[in-house]
Amino acid sequence: MLKRKATEKISFWKQHKGKQALLIDGARQVGKTSIIEDFGRSNYQHMVEINFVDNPDALTAVNNASTADDLFLAISAYADDELVPSETLIFLDEVQQCANVVTMIKFLVNRYGQYDYILSGSLLGVELKSVVSVPVGYLDSFTMYPMDFEEYCWARKVPQNVLQEVTDAYVERRPVNQAVHKRMTDLFHEYLLVGGMPDAVSVFIAEHNIQSLRARQTAIINRYQDDISQYADSLAHKQDIRRIFDLIPSELNQQNKRFRISSMDTHARMTRHENDFLWLADAGVAIPVYNVDEPRYPLMLSMNSRLFKLFLDDVGLLTCLCGMDIVRDLLNDRTDINYGALYENAIAQELKAHGFPLYYFKDNAIGELDFVIEHPRGRVMPIEVKAGKNYKRHSALTRALSTPNYDMEHGIVLAKANVETDGIIDYLPIYMVSQLAYDE
């Protein structure tokens, strides 16, 4: 079983839940079901699991329930284990099929609070938009993402003292031990290839076979495409969303990586397609990074929602879509290849998983900053991602930091380099991005 940070979040909920159920959202195949099943087996004497996709009769019964008693009776009728008070977890999976159970969970928790309830599903951002009344105060929630780089290192059995060396080097702003730096850099390049989808990670670790890995990644991509066909609300909407999804790799391969609406059609307009992009973001399939007019705190006040970069939720899936040539380049560690799109996708994925709202900045006089984030201390931090050797060439970052009214204390350059500080710019190894979330 792969170690996931979500386990700690579920444990915290169990200890402090009071009268609250737990809802775990996330894109398909990020590991929600397996982590909940493992938690249930490890922490409860009994676990009742109902999957509303696999069990349409249970879905019908739950949807027809109008009271807490009706709902609990429907769950009881399809229970696959004993319902023992204080010893049973009731796990309701694929709840995007069953909005009724989300709206009624308040009454279930109140009436039958001697049981614990975890709900899970995919595309909840899409399917639950129509839910009139989400039970505030009775439903805790969090979103699961693909495995971040630290979780990938856990899966690859990287010793804790090696990971601690990375943290210590970041805190002390000193170079990482060279052997550790080499190991972590190699692992990060491997992560660009494998990504963080648990099924893909497991098969790669077990077989170390690229064809098996790509088969699993392709299956996940196909499932995403099937979801578009199944859940988007009209044929035209489905076709447009699919077109956007298919264009993500080529758009990220452009120099500025901003998604150009004209790539869909020369006559396409953002006003018509804005909901198509939102669908992909709400489904957890894509990560939008929005432009800001000024890199000043708070960033959302100057956000331009019609200018954005669009990344995939998992860098391994992006690498798979880019084809075997880029896979061979990564395997051969070719240094003459620009991995900029993969680097930026991995950074977007990592920052998103650690709770950062994502923005970028572009100005004709200054240039473009790959990412701008809000530091935990309430200031803006610009981040440049450099895939090549010339990582100290960053004119846009230099100009932005010298602009007084932007009020940025220092900048970050993430590159295939060791830790170095030059004035107000920190050069950090690309694998060190997660450390930004632990700043105080």
Q: What are the beta bridge partners of residue 422?
A: 425
Indicate the pLDDT class of residue 212, thresholds 50, 70 and 90. Answer: very high
- At how many degrees (to 10) do helices 178-194 and 315-322 cross? 60
Whether 131 has a pLDDT exceeding 60, the answer reads no
Whether the Cβ atoms of residue 387 and residue 334 lie closer than 8 Å to each other: no
Domain check: are 346 and 262 in the same one? Answer: yes
Indicate the pLDDT class of residue 330, thresholds 50, 70 and 90. Answer: confident
**Signed CA dihedral, 252, 255, 256, 259: sign only:** negative
Query: Cα angle at 47 between 43 and 50, to 5 degrees?
Result: 140
Name the pairing type of β-strands 379-386 and 367-375: antiparallel
Domain check: are 164 and 222 in the same one? Answer: yes
Whether 379 has a pLDDT exceeding 50, the answer reads yes
Domain check: are 139 and 192 in the same one? Answer: no
Residue whose token pair is 């170095």:
420
Domain check: are 261 and 394 in the same one? Answer: yes
Q: Per-residue b/e over 168-193, b at no fewer than 16 CB within 10 Å? A: ebbeeeeebbeebbebbbebbbebbb
Nearest to 58 by CA among 104, 94, 18: 94
Domain check: are 129 and 172 in the same one? Answer: no
d(CA 223, CA 229): 10
d(CA 304, CA 320): 31
326 versus 59: the higher-pLDDT residue is 59
Looking at the structure of the chain, the number of domains it has is 2
- Say if residue 357 is preceded by a cis peptide, omega within 30 of 0: no
* DSSP code at position 258: B
Q: Does 330 reside within a domain?
A: yes
User: Percent of the chain at pLDDT above 70?
Assistant: 96
The per-residue pLDDT for 339 is: 83
User: Percent of the chain at pLDDT above 90?
Assistant: 78
Whether 173 has a pLDDT exceeding 60, the answer reads yes
Q: CB under 8 Å to 219, separation ≥6 — which residues?
A: none
Give the CA distances from residue 193 to residues 40, 122, 137, 162, 320, in Å, rounded to whole numbers and listed in that order: 32, 24, 41, 22, 8
The per-residue pLDDT for 130 is: 59
Give the CA distances from residue 422 to residues 301, 367, 413, 419, 431, in Å, rounded to whole numbers and listed in that order: 31, 21, 11, 10, 19
The per-residue pLDDT for 438 is: 82
Domain check: are 11 and 115 in the same one? Answer: yes
The per-residue pLDDT for 132 is: 47
- At how many degrees (to 10) do helices 235-252 and 340-353 cross? 120
CA 12, distance to chain mean position in Å, is 21
Q: Which of 111, 144, 177 is the last residue of a domain?
A: 144
d(CA 369, CA 425): 14
Nearest to 187 by CA among 165, 211, 214, 155: 155
Nearest to 324 by CA among 223, 212, 211: 211
How confident is the model over 52-62, as a mean pLDDT? Answer: 96
Mean model confidence pLDDT for the chain: 92
The per-residue pLDDT for 419 is: 98
Domain check: are 193 and 284 in the same one? Answer: yes
pLDDT per position as a tens digit, 259-307: 887 777 766 676 677 888 999 999 999 999 999 999 999 999 999 988 9
pLDDT per position as a tens digit, 99-117: 889 989 999 999 999 999 9
pLDDT per position as a tens digit, 9-28: 999 999 998 889 999 999 99
Q: Which of 144, 162, 193 is the last residue of a domain?
A: 144
The per-residue pLDDT for 268 is: 66
Q: Which of 76, 111, 144 is the last residue of a domain?
A: 144
Q: Does 75 reside within a domain?
A: yes
**Looking at residue 126, which CATH number applies to its domain?**
3.40.50.300
Q: Does 214 reside within a domain?
A: yes
Query: Cα angle at 243 between 239 and 245, to 5 degrees?
Result: 120
* DSSP code at position 122: S
Whether 141 has a pLDDT exceeding 90, the answer reads yes
d(CA 393, CA 365): 17
Whether the Cβ atoms of residue 92 and residue 132 lie closer than 8 Å to each other: no
Q: Does 60 reside within a domain?
A: yes
The reported pTM is 0.94
Long-range contacts of 251-260 (CB under 8 A, 24+ apart): 251/309, 251/310, 252/309, 252/310, 252/311, 252/318, 252/341, 252/344, 252/345, 253/341, 256/362, 256/368, 257/309, 257/340, 257/341, 257/344, 258/291, 258/307, 258/308, 258/309, 258/362, 259/308, 259/309, 259/310
Domain check: are 94 and 227 in the same one? Answer: no
Q: Does 316 reside within a domain?
A: yes
Q: Does 1 reside within a domain?
A: no
267 versus 65: the higher-pLDDT residue is 65
Whether 133 has a pLDDT exceeding 60, the answer reads no
What is the residue range of 105's domain?
6-144
How confident is the model over 244-270, as a mean pLDDT? Answer: 83
Burial environment of residue 231 by CB neighbours within 10 A (0 to 12, 13 to 18, 19 or more): middle
The per-residue pLDDT for 336 is: 61
Whether 360 has a pLDDT exceeding 70, the answer reads yes
Domain check: are 336 and 434 in the same one? Answer: yes
d(CA 16, CA 320): 41
How confident is the model over 326-349, as a mean pLDDT? Answer: 85
Indicate the pLDDT class of residue 225, thresholds 50, 70 and 90. Answer: very high
The per-residue pLDDT for 344 is: 96
Q: Does 205 reside within a domain?
A: yes
The per-residue pLDDT for 234 is: 79
The per-residue pLDDT for 440 is: 60
Domain check: are 262 and 162 in the same one? Answer: yes
Domain check: are 97 and 246 in the same one? Answer: no
Q: CB under 8 Å to 266, separation ≥6 — which residues?
A: none
* DSSP code at position 260: P
Domain check: are 330 and 249 in the same one? Answer: yes
